[in-house]
Every structure is written in structure tokens, then in C-alpha cells.
Amino acid sequence: MSLPQVYRYVDEHLEQAIELLQRLARQPSVSAQNLGIAEMADLCVSTLQEEGITAQLLALGDSPPLILGEAVGASPRCLMLYSHYDVQPVEPLDQWQTAPFEPVLRDGRLYGRGVSDNKGDLAARLFALRALRAVTGELPTTVRFMLEGEEEVGSPHLAGLMQRYGHLFMADAGVLEARTRAANGQPRVVLGVKGLLGVELVARSASRDVHSSLAPVVPSAAWRLNWALSTLKAPGERVLIDGFYDDVRPWQQDELEALAALPEDEHWLREEIGLHAYLDQVSGLEYRKRLFGQPTCNICGIQAGYTGPGSKTVLPGEARARLDFRLVPDQQPGDVLGKLRRHLDEHGYTDIQIRAQGSGLAPARVPIQDPFARFCAETAESYYGQPALVFPTDAATIGLSTLAKFLPYTILLAPGAPGYWGSSIHAPNEHIRISDLADAIKFHTLLLTRFAEGAF
């Protein structure tokens, strides 16, 4: 086992890893704005090829291409590594201290859009392969890369792409975006995600906004939307859509034990966002049961009439609200969408239009006792020197369920992210610490080496 030499290689060639990440981060690739996506896909292919990985673009209609990369190793056992090459929009631009697409090193940190989420993952994984090959002359195991180009907009084509190309991604196990460590340094293994149903509700009462002096006689889209929303959720937070909770699977005993073993660190966020208390003053295990186990009905945004400077007394002819429902096993987005429509109809809001944002994503969870989950936790403890925190699920959503539906092997979120809890992903001044990048690369060299040994 030559891992100490591999680690030394990583330390001695870290500048090359930074250069690799800078090259990826310099290319804008904002899927929400269709900015640089094709160029980024081409850059990914050429970068993979330079690293000795065969690569091809897979497309479906005019979707951003999915990229398949393959590198054969000494062992035929295959690990699938998923990253995405698109990034979040950079706005508000004036809050960046340096240009988002000109990644720069400053005080041991690299700043730029995507350096953490998610080009940092890709760079760390590619450099892990380079280090293993440079030191040992070969890869210990076979690797398949899956690089998606529209993760930041909810993966609308992922199911279609999997239906058509899923067979090309056969493997023995897979990991999604890597997870950062907890604030106390413990690595995190995350075994599931919530589902997501995004909708826009549109109320229309007139073909245009009218002068508000007409309020005694002209119906208001803003009031109508307000009243309709009030029927969906009342103070107390319970979602009032008939049957909404029917398919919520109770926590399993081992999931509850995993939740109980997680640290109490919820006060950090609470203080940062100026909260006096969380809802119902929950804390500790109750906080975690609720955060990870409760499905939600959230107002992402609402807009009607005039809210600009000065005043303009209009009566809105149209009002719109964006909602997102986070779903837990075994809720399904299509089923919840149907229940939402029925609910509005039964409450007299047949006129309110529901625009579903895509077909949604189902929730997904790997069992706590899954062997690959245990393998990842053990590998993380072995590298980072602290026991891994095992989360039964994340509170957020990625396309895990879509992959799980088409790929017949365990897929989860493993440690090894070059980012950390303060990386400001999705926000201005996204950055990583270079020391975390080195750890991320080394962790992946260990992961691939142990994976080849058939350690699970």
C-alpha cells in the first residue's frame, strides 16, 4: 500500500490541483441563465481526456449534455462518481470581492463561483486519479464519472437521460456530490434526500391591474391568492391539504438512533440568522426529527401589484406565489400535486392555476445498515481520524431518487468535499480552504484504494 507516497504527491503537487480547479471555475456555466453550458461541457470532456479518462457527451433533445467518463482500474469493481458542472447564478454581483469567474487565491483560500459547488468535487476527484496513477502507475479500481449540466435548476432531464443512457453507468456503488465536514471536523455520510415539488400558483381577477379606487367592485387577485394560500397551511405549521401526510413513513428505530447520535449544533444557524427560537422552540433530537423528517409547504416567493419606491395605488389583476413542497418517504410529487389541485377545487379555488415546475423529485433514503454506507463511514473515520456522522437523510433535495430509480446499486452522499461549512455556496464570495482541497483529494485516493479491496 503506497498511500503515504500518494499523499505526499498530493502535497507536493497541490498547485497543479489548484490550477486544475481554476481552469474549470474560470469557465462560466450558469444553467439558470443558459450561460456557457455548452462550452463547459466541452471543457469537461477535454479535461477528462487529458487525465486519461475516456469521455463522451450524452444529450437528450436540447438538454445540457450529460457527460460519461470512464477509467479502467486494476480491479473490475466500479465506483460511480457524480458531480455537476453547472453553477448557481452569481448575482448579486456587487457583493463579490473579486470577479466570480476569475478564481483567485487569497490567504490560503480559493475564491470563485463553483470552486466548492461543485467543480471543486470534480477537480478533487480528477486529481485523486492523477495522483494514484503517478505514484502507483495505475488506478486501483474502475471509475465511472457522471457529470450533469443542470443540477442547479432541478435536473429536469435527468430521468429522461437515465432512461436512455442509464445502462452506461453500471457500477457497484455510487457517490453523489461530496459532503463537507461538520463544524467540529467530523466527516458526514448522508443516506438520503427529501423530494421536491415546486409549483407556481397564479390567481387572475382581471386582464390588468386597475386603479385601487375600484376595490369595492372589482375582485382582487392578491386577496384571492392570499385566501387560497391560507387554506393550505395555518399558524401551527400543519399542512391542511387532505391526505398530505398519508404516505409519510415513520422513522425506523435505527434511523432514530442515528439522529440521536448527531451533535447539537443548531444554535449556530439560529444565531447567524437572528432567530430568537426555532419553531415551537424545538432543539436537540426534536429539532433533527423535525428538520429531517417533516415534509413542508413553503412560500419561496410571492408577488402582486406594485411594491417599488413611492406609492402606486393599484388593485392587482394577477398575483403569483411560488411554493416548494419538500417531501419525505414515501410521498410522491405527482401524488401531492394531485392532492393540491383537489384541495384548491374543494375550497372553491378552481380558478387558481397551478403551474408545476417540472415533474418534481421523489425522496430517497438508503437504509442505515447498507454495507456501502458503513464502508463510507469507516473510510471517512480512517482518513479524517474522527468518527463519521451518519445522517439518515438531508433536509434538502438532489436527484438521488432519479438515479436510484434507474441504477441498481447503492448511491449516497459521502465525505470528501473540498468545501467547508463556511464556503458560501449559492452566495457571493464562494470559496474553499486549500487545506480542505488537499484532504478531499487524499480522501478520494483512500476511497478508491479501499473500494478496490472489496472492503464492503
Q: What is the number of other CB atoms lying within 10 angstroms of the CB of residue 422?
A: 13
Count of alpha carbons within 13 angstroms of residue 212, beta-carbon side: 10
Closer to a second copy by CB, 41 or 225: give it. 225
Tell me how far apart the alpha carbons of residues 405 and 415 are, in angstroms, rounded to a whole number.
23
The label of the residue with cell 401531492 reads 336
DSSP letters of 16-41? HHHHHHHHHHHS--BGGGTBSHHHHH
At closest approach, how far in Å is the CB of 314 from a second copy? 6
CA-angle at 33, arms to 28 and 36, nearest 5°: 30
Residues 6+ apart with CB under 8 A from 222: 203, 304, 305, 315, 316, 319
Distances (CA, A) of 178 to 61, 119, 324, 358, 412: 29, 11, 25, 25, 9
Closer to a second copy by CB, 165 or 278: give it. 278
At closest approach, how far in Å is the CB of 237 from a second copy? 8
Closer to a second copy by CB, 104 or 356: give it. 356
Tell me how far apart the alpha carbons of residues 359 and 337 are, in angstroms, rounded to a whole number.
9
Residue 68 is classified by DSSP as E
Closer to a second copy by CB, 322 or 374: give it. 322
At closest approach, how far in Å is the CB of 284 from a second copy? 12
At closest approach, how far in Å is the CB of 456 from a second copy? 29
Closer to a second copy by CB, 73 or 198: give it. 198
Closer to a second copy by CB, 134 or 206: give it. 206
At closest approach, how far in Å is the CB of 259 from a second copy? 13
Distances (CA, A) of 236 to 219, 281, 286, 367: 29, 12, 16, 31
At closest approach, how far in Å is the CB of 324 from a second copy? 5
